[in-house]
Homo-oligomer: A and B are copies of this chain.
Amino acid sequence: MTPELLEQALHVAPFHQWLGVSLRESGPDGITIAMPWREEMISNPALPAMHGGVLAALIDLTGFYTVLAAGHVCTSTADIHVDYHRPASRESLTARGIIVRIGKRLSVAEVRVSGETGKLLASGRGAYAMKG
A residues with CB within 8 A of B: 12-19, 39-45, 49, 51-54, 56-58, 60-61, 76-85, 87, 100-101, 103, 105-106, 108, 110, 112, 120, 123-125, 127, 129
The contact of A52 among B17, B77, B85, by CB within 8 Å, is B77
Chain B positions within 8 Å of A100 at CB level: 83, 85, 112, 120, 123
Are B56's CB and A53's CB within 8 A?
A: yes
The contact of A84 among B42, B43, B78, by CB within 8 Å, is B78
* Cα(A125)–Cα(B42), bound, Å: 21
7 pairs of residues in contact across A and B, judged by CB atoms under 8 Å: A14-B41, A15-B43, A16-B43, A56-B82, A83-B125, A85-B108, A106-B106
* Cα(A26)–Cα(B52), bound, Å: 22
Are A13's CB and B83's CB within 8 A?
A: no
